[in-house]
């Protein structure tokens, strides 16, 4: 999952570099949501351990 | 004023890239393995820097107006809020008295605390950029240095992608306290190391 998000950010930056702004925008949104979900996953993980 | 705005965008990209390179240094020179939250903070920083990078890439092709600035720095602020939440979460995990924290401190603060400071700074610089919005569309001079800044960021992201792939291997998630590079251990090579670095 982490590798996939990094890969998405890399492709997003390449898309911006090549002037493909719409693609860059879509990839940003996907990477942002995936990062948030991964954070949520790790948060709930730790809470289970705490309680 | 356009030159100052370009300079501020470059500063944002270079500062974040340097922090990411510093974390890379801690990972490979001090042999501290980054935990899942450290990796999430790296993602947040890359997303933060992608706002100004986007602005410079746009400005290289055409005129940019207030809407372009607002979009790009809006992305940075949202990413900084996400990354800052991760950093704050990690600070709170180690806030109890007697907890020595994750990894070794740098200049008296742990790397996740520095990371939180970086995210707050990104919000402040983005706010400053939004205060200096141009009244009409302007053509920015994008020469070698702004392009080199974006290329540096792309190179740092590429290096991080490879490093995370080696650390995660073909598993879905990183372990909570990673002690070895899973790609190597999956193939039978042992590479155990101590902890930490955002």
Query: What is the C-alpha to C-alpha distance for residues A20 and B48, in angstroms, rounded to an integer?
Result: 19
Strand partners, B180: B192
Q: How far is CA B154 from CA A14, A18, B47, B49, B116, in A?
A: 7, 12, 12, 10, 22
Quote the minimal CA–CA distance from B161 to chain A in Å.
5
State the pLDDT confidence band at A14, using cuts at 50, 70 and 90: very high
SS3 B29: coil
Give chain B's mean pLDDT.
84
Query: What is the C-alpha to C-alpha distance for residues B14 and B16, in angstroms, rounded to an integer?
Result: 6
Query: What is the C-alpha to C-alpha distance for residues A10 and B42, in angstroms, rounded to an integer?
Result: 13
A40 to chain B, any CB pair closer than 8 A? The answer is no
Give the count of Cβ contacts less than 8 A between chain A and B: 86
**Any idea which residue has 């042992």 for tokens?**
B190
* CB atoms B54 and A6 under 8 Å: no
Q: How far is CA B162 from CA A11, B7, B40, B190, in A?
A: 14, 30, 15, 18
Cβ-proximal residues to A37 (8 Å cutoff; 6+ apart), any chain: none
For residues B104 and B55, is the Cβ–Cβ distance under 8 A?
Answer: no
- The pTM of the full predicted model, rounded to 2 decimals, is 0.86
Q: Among A7-21, A36-50, B123-137, which stretch is predicted with the lowest mean pLDDT?
A: A36-50
State the pLDDT confidence band at A6, using cuts at 50, 70 and 90: very high
Contact residues, chain B, for A12 at CB < 8 Å: 50
Other CB atoms closer than 10 Å to residue B73's CB: what's the count? Answer: 26
Query: What is the C-alpha to C-alpha distance for residues B28 and A27, in angstroms, rounded to an integer?
Result: 29
pLDDT of A9 above 90: yes
């Amino acid at each position: 999952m982490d590798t996939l998000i990094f890969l998405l950010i890399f492709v997003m930056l390449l898309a911006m570099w090549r002037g493909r702004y719409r693609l860059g925008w879509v990839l940003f949104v996907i990477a942002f949501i995936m990062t948030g979900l991964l954070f949520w996953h790790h948060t709930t993980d730790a809470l289970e351990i705490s309680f | 004023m356009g030159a100052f705005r370009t300079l501020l965008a470059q500063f944002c990209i270079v500062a974040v890239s340097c922090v990411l390179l510093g974390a890379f240094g801690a990972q490979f020179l001090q042999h501290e393995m980054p935990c899942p939250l450290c990796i999430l903070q790296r993602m947040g920083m890359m997303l933060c820097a992608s706002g100004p990078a986007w602005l410079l890439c746009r400005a290289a092709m055409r005129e940019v107006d207030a809407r372009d600035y607002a979009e790009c720095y809006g992305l940075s602020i949202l990413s900084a809020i996400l990354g800052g939440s991760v950093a704050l979460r990690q600070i709170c995990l180690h806030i109890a008295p007697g907890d020595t924290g994750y990894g070794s401190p740098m200049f008296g603060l742990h790397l996740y605390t520095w990371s939180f400071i970086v995210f707050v700074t990104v919000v402040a610089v983005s706010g400053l950029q939004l205060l200096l919005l141009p009244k009409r569309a302007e053509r920015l001079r994008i020469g070698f240095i702004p392009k080199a800044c974006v290329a540096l960021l792309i190179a740092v992201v590429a290096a991080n992608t490879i490093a995370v792939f080696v650390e995660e291997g073909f598993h879905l998630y990183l372990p909570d306290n990673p002690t070895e590079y899973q790609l190597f251990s999956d193939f039978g090579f042992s590479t155990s190391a101590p902890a930490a670095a955002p």
